[in-house]
C-alpha cells in the first residue's frame, strides 16, 4: 500500500466555506470515486430475484445483475495500471478526554479525512459534493445485541452535523441497524417520526427479493426508502470471517444474517450482498470506527467487547480497500498485543478477493493509496 504521511492542524470546524468553483456532485462522483464503484444511486428496478455477478469492467462502472453461470476462482490479481483506491487513516491524539470522546477532535478528524479523500480544500464543499439537500440519507451503524462494542454515538452525530451544515434536513437522515432496541442499548436516541435526526431499526420490515450465494434474501425498508447510504462500522474480530468491518456490517441490513456465516455463503455471500444495487448504488461513503476495537472474540457472552482503545478512523469510497486496510490494521494491533493474526487473515482473504472479483473495489496492496493523517 502506498502511504502518505500528513500532519494537519485544523480548527475544530475546519474550513467550512464552500469554494467558489464547486463542481457538481454528479461530476465529482464520476471523477473521484473511481475504483470504488460506489456511484450515487437511485431506487433500483424491482425484479423478483436479482443476483450479483462478477464483472470484468473497472469497479467504477456499475453493471446490470444477472444469474452467474459459474462461481469464479478467487484471485488477488494486481490492479489495472493507473487505478487505485484511496483510504484515509486519520489519527487524533486528543480524541479521548478521559473516558469520553471529544466532539471537537472528532470533527477535526472528519474534516481532515473528507478533504484528503475528495481532494477538495473545504470540508463543507466535500460533503456537498457527495450529498444533495433533497436526498434521504441512511447511516448504517453496528449496534449488535451480542456485543458491548458499538459504533460510537459521538462519531455518528458528528457526521449528521456535517450533513445538516450542507443543507440536508435532520429529518431526512436516519440512523439504523437490525433492531430499535439494540440502537437504544448502544446509546443512540431513538426517534421514529419526531423532529430531528431519525433513529430506529429495521424491526422485521424488509422488502424485495435478491439472490445471494444461492439463497434468497430481502433488504431493510429503512435502506430501500433512502437515496444515499453512509456505512459506519466498528472494527471487531470475528470467529468465522476473521474481522467484521465495512462489508460485514451489512449483515445487519438483511433479516437472516446467520444463513451467510459459513462456507461459500460467507466467502461469496458477503461480497454478493455488498454488490446488490440497494447497497452498492446507494453507498456514498464509508467511515470505519477504530476509536475502540475488539481484537479477540470471546466465546462467552458478551462475545465482543472493546479490548483496545484507539485514536483513529478510516474513510474511503471503496469497501474492499477499506476492509483490506482494516485487516492490516487489525493484524498489526493484534501482533502488538502478543497475538497471531494468521487465522484472521486466512478467513478474511477469500471474501476480500470475492469483493474485488465482483467489481466492488481493490484488495491488492499495490492498488490502495493509503493516506495517513496525524492531528492533535
Q: What is the pTM of this model?
A: 0.82
Q: What angle do CA 85, 212, 268 make, to 5 degrees?
A: 55
Output the pLDDT for position 51: 41
CA–CA separation, 318 and 161 (whole Å):
23
Cα-based distances in Å from 25 to 29, 58, 87: 6, 21, 20
Residue-range domains of the chain with CATH: 94-108+129-358 (3.40.50.11440)
List the grid coordinates of 343.
487465522
CA–CA separation, 8 and 116 (whole Å):
10
Query: What is the full per-residue pLDDT of the chain (376 aa) written as tens digits?
Result: 655 555 554 433 333 333 333 334 434 344 443 433 333 333 333 333 334 443 333 333 333 333 332 333 333 444 444 456 999 999 999 999 999 999 999 999 999 999 999 999 999 999 999 999 999 999 999 999 999 999 999 999 999 999 999 999 999 999 999 999 999 999 999 999 999 999 999 999 999 999 999 999 999 999 999 999 999 999 999 999 999 999 999 999 999 999 999 898 999 999 999 999 999 999 999 999 999 999 999 988 889 999 999 999 999 999 999 999 999 999 999 999 999 999 999 999 999 999 999 999 999 989 999 999 999 8
Name the residue among 174, 223, 228 with its Cα closest to residue 197: 174
Burial of 273 (0-12, 13-18, 19+ CB in 10 A): buried
Q: Which residues lie closer than 8 Å to 179 by C-beta, 6 or more apart?
A: 145, 201, 202, 203
Cβ–Cβ contacts within 10 Å for residue 269, how many? Answer: 26
Amino acid at each position: 500500500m502506498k502511504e502518505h504521511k500528513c500532519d494537519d492542524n485544523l480548527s475544530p470546524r475546519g474550513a467550512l466555506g464552500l469554494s467558489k468553483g464547486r463542481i457538481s456532485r454528479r461530476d465529482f462522483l464520476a471523477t473521484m470515486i473511481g475504483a470504488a464503484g460506489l456511484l450515487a444511486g437511485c431506487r433500483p428496478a424491482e425484479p423478483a430475484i436479482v443476483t450479483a455477478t462478477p464483472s470484468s469492467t473497472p469497479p467504477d462502472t456499475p453493471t446490470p445483475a444477472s444469474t452467474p453461470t459459474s462461481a469464479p476462482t478467487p484471485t488477488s490479481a494486481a490492479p489495472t495500471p493507473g487505478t487505485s483506491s484511496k483510504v484515509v487513516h486519520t489519527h487524533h491524539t486528543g480524541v479521548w478526554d478521559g473516558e469520553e470522546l471529544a466532539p471537537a477532535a472528532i470533527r477535526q478528524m472528519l474534516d481532515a479525512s473528507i478533504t484528503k479523500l475528495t481532494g477538495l480544500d473545504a470540508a463543507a464543499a466535500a460533503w456537498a459534493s457527495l450529498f444533495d439537500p433533497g436526498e434521504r440519507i441512511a447511516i448504517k451503524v453496528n449496534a449488535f445485541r451480542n456485543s458491548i462494542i458499538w459504533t460510537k454515538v459521538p462519531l455518528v452525530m458528528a457526521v449528521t452535523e456535517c450533513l445538516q451544515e450542507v443543507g440536508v434536513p435532520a429529518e431526512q437522515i436516519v440512523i439504523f441497524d437490525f433492531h430499535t432496541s439494540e440502537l437504544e442499548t448502544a446509546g443512540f436516541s431513538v426517534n421514529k417520526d419526531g423532529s430531528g435526526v431519525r433513529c430506529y431499526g429495521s424491526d422485521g420490515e424488509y422488502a424485495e427479493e435478491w439472490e445471494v450465494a444461492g439463497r434468497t434474501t430481502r433488504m431493510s425498508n429503512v435502506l430501500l426508502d433512502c437515496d444515499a447510504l453512509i456505512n459506519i462500522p466498528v472494527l471487531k474480530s470475528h470467529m468465522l470471517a476473521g474481522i467484521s468491518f465495512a462489508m460485514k456490517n451489512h449483515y445487519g441490513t438483511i433479516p437472516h444474517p446467520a444463513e451467510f456465516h459459513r462456507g461459500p455463503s460467507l466467502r461469496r455471500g458477503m461480497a454478493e450482498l455488498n454488490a446488490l444495487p440497494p447497497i452498492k448504488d446507494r453507498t456514498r461513503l464509508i467511515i470505519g470506527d477504530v476509536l475502540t476495537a475488539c481484537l479477540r472474540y470471546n466465546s462467552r457472552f458478551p462475545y465482543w467487547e472493546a479490548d483496545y482503545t484507539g485514536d483513529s478512523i478510516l474513510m474511503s469510497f471503496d469497501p474492499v480497500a477499506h476492509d483490506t486496510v482494516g485487516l492490516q490494521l487489525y493484524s498489526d494491533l493484534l501482533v502488538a498485543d502478543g497475538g497471531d493474526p494468521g487465522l484472521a487473515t486466512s478467513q478474511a482473504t477469500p471474501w476480500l478477493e470475492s469483493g474485488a472479483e465482483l467489481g466492488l473495489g481493490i484488495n491488492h496492496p499495490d492498488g490502495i493509496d493509503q493516506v495517513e493523517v496525524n492531528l492533535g
